[in-house]
């Protein structure tokens, strides 16, 4: 794993916008001098490294599915702040095998040792457009014969094809609250992959979804019953919304992507459960729910925080905090390993899973120790 | 009486204007690792960029409630009534037993009453009634963007 400088393509901004990265300005804090998409650098990996990472990702995903079984078998819902009334439906969703499409592991990796799991964005992962499309076209333009750890597009299309969906259009729901365009573009892209798989799709705003109290079904603006709903709206929000009880109760009659049982993965309590189940596993860092125990340096993460908010790094040298209003649901305490330093920047690897297979890589860099909304996305390639 | 329908000069959300319906079918050759079909990503991207730019310059979304204008309490709140009462096709706004019904814009609603709004229609805003009879809407959302 190396970080290399490269010359950006002439007109790169127009190029990436035409490929779907509409939000590279709007989703990025304006005071930063570095753009969100930064092709003046990229990472290179050997095929050996990629194959190693791929098997580590698939092993982690398998361990996570075991963790879901474990949480259900041992009634650990309180550790995940799942409301008791929703528990039977979370369990039923898992037992039925409600289908899942994708997720993204965030990993600490420096090219020398094993990757370490930082979190699993298993419910509402983003940076999909740049991972699947934009860096792929960058590779084709800049290194035409080159290779990349990236089969996201074809795997997403294949995944939609194999899902057991009811008839009627699949609905893709964005929220009106997204002012950057990131959510719209991500859902637009997912919708595109579903269309390429032969599905009929419809876009709807979460805010516009209606509840028909006579037929007990969700409906769109044209009163069509919603049988498949793909959302980027976190389950913990949907469950707490006025329609939460209906959404949870109707799981059996419709397909939500991602499914309700992913509440047990897209929650950082997972890190502690994994460490209990697989203590000392090379891809895990020690993590606990009841406090930092004997960890000399640790990071405190809210169970349901987003974009690196509300975290604290506690080391013998002092404490560093990020802003945020998360944490009422509880925290996990994980051993702190600083992200590796490559030329003054710290990459975090976003390793994608589609279905149950590793499907690609997206890298974000920050100058600080926590990857937040100031991070930049940089492409990568595999070198022979 | 003022009409609560959306003002057509304001930006329409790219996904709400049928971008999905404009999507082309994938070409027969399908996809291989050397040829991703972009489909309508470019078109959608252009719409989103334009939408985000327009949002920055336009007024907020304003919600309209149909209220009984004769029900004003000392705290300034009004009783909310069925949207039908304010619809133009119900023969104007002056009917009912004790006064007029009218649209009340941008108010905060609680327990069937609404306050801190205005009966003056904002000139530069996207206005929508809360509405809904058998079908309830608005039970999801309002929390921000949820990607991670």
Note the ipTM here.
0.85
Res B19: pLDDT = 39
Res A307: pLDDT = 83
**Quick check: A211 contacting B, CB < 8 Å?**
yes
Q: Which of A86, A93, A39, A94 is nearest to A68 (CA)?
A: A94
Question: Which residue in the set B26, B134, B143 is minimally distant from A213, CB to CB?
Answer: B134
Res B4: pLDDT = 44
Tokens of A361: 């890589």
3-class secondary structure, B112: coil
- The answer for A293, left when phi > 0, alpha when psi is -120 to 50, beta otherwise, is left
B81 vs A138, higher pLDDT: A138
Res B22: pLDDT = 37
Q: Which of residues 74-133 of B touch A (CB under 8 A)?
A: 132
The answer, yes or no, to whether residue B57 has pLDDT greater than 50, is no
Measure the CA angle with vertex A326, ends B52 and A36; round to 5°.
35
Res B105: pLDDT = 77
Residues B65-85 have a mean pLDDT of 80
In percent, the amount of chain B with pLDDT more than 70 equals 42
Instruction: Give CA–CA dist A291/B83, Å, rounded.
Output: 53
Q: Which of residues 38-77 of B touch A (CB under 8 A)?
A: 38-42, 44-46, 48-49, 51-52, 55, 61
Tokens 């974009």, residue located: A307
Task: Calculate how close chain A gets to B104, using CA atoms only, in Å.
Answer: 21
**Quick check: A177 contacting B, CB < 8 Å?**
yes
Instruction: Give CA–CA dist A274/B90, Å, rounded.
Output: 62
A104: closest chain B residue by CA:
B148
- HSE, side-chain direction, 13 A CA sphere, residue A96: 19
B70 vs B127, higher pLDDT: B70
Give the strands of the sheet with A210-212, arranged side by side.
A217-219, A210-212, B135-137
Task: Calculate how close chain B gets to A288, using CA atoms only, in Å.
Answer: 22
Regions of chain A short of the pLDDT cut 50: none
Residues B113, A199 contacting (CB under 8 angstroms) = no
Q: Which of A339, A363, A269, A288 is nearest to A70 (CA)?
A: A269
Task: Calculate how close chain B gets to A175, using CA atoms only, in Å.
Answer: 7
The answer, yes or no, to whether residue B10 has pLDDT greater than 50, is no
Per-residue pLDDT tens over the stretch B84-114: 777 654 444 444 334 577 777 777 777 778 8
Residues B56-67 have a mean pLDDT of 63
B144 vs A111, higher pLDDT: A111
Res B53: pLDDT = 64
Res B133: pLDDT = 40
């Amino acid at each position: 794993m190396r970080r290399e400088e490269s010359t950006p393509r002439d007109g790169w901004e127009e190029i990436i916008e035409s490929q779907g990265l509409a939000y590279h300005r709007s989703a990025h804090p304006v005071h930063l001098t570095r753009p969100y998409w930064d092709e003046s650098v990229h990472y290179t990996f050997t095929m050996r490294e990629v194959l190693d990472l791929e098997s580590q990702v698939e092993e982690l995903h398998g361990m996570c599915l075991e963790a879901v079984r474990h949480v259900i078998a041992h009634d650990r819902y309180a550790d995940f702040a799942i409301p008791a009334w929703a528990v039977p439906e979370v369990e039923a969703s898992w037992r039925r095998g409600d289908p899942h499409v994708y997720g993204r592991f965030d990993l600490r990796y420096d090219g020398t040792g094993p990757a370490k799991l930082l979190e699993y964005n298993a419910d509402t992962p983003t940076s999909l457009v740049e991972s699947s499309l934009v860096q792929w076209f960058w590779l084709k333009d800049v290194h035409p014969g080159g290779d990349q750890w990236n089969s996201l597009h074809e795997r997403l299309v294949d995944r939609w094809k194999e899902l057991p969906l009811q008839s009627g259009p699949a609905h893709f729901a964005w929220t009106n609250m997204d002012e950057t365009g990131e959510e719209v573009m991500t859902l637009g892209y997912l919708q595109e992959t579903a269309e390429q798989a032969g599905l009929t799709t419809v876009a709807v705003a979460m805010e516009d979804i209606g509840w028909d109290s006579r037929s007990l079904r969700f409906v769109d603006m044209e009163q069509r019953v919603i049988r498949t709903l793909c959302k980027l709206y976190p389950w913990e929000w949907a469950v707490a919304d006025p329609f939460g009880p209906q959404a949870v109760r109707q799981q059996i009659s419709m397909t939500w992507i991602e499914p309700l049982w992913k509440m047990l993965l897209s929650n950082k309590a997972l890190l502690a459960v994994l460490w209990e189940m697989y203590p000392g596993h090379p891809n895990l860092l020690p993590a606990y729910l009841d406090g930092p125990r004997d960890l000399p340096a640790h990071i405190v993460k809210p169970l349901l925080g987003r974009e690196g908010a509300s975290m604290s790094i506690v080391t013998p040298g002092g404490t560093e905090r990020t802003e945020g209003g998360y944490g009422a649901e509880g925290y996990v305490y994980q051993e702190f390993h600083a992200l590796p330093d490559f030329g003054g920047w710290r990459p975090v690897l976003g390793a994608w899973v589609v279905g149950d297979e590793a499907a690609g890589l997206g890298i974000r860099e920050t100058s600080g120790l926590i990857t937040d909304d100031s991070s930049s996305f940089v492409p990568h390639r595999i070198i022979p | 009486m003022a009409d609560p329908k959306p003002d057509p000069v304001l930006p329409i959300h790219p996904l709400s204007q049928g971008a999905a319906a404009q999507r082309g079918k994938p070409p027969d050759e399908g996809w291989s690792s050397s040829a991703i079909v972009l489909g309508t990503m470019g078109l959608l991207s252009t719409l989103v960029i334009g939408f985000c730019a327009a949002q920055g310059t336009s007024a907020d979304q304003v919600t309209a409630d149909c209220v009984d204008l004769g029900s004003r309490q000392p705290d300034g709140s009004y009783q909310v009534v069925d949207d039908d009462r304010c619809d133009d096709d119900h023969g104007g706004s002056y009917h009912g037993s004790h006064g007029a019904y009218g649209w009340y814009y941008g108010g905060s609603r609680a327990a069937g009453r609404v306050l801190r709004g205005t009966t003056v229609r904002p000139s530069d805003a996207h206005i929508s009634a809360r509405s809904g009879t058998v079908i309830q809407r608005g039970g999801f959302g309002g929390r921000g963007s949820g990607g991670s």
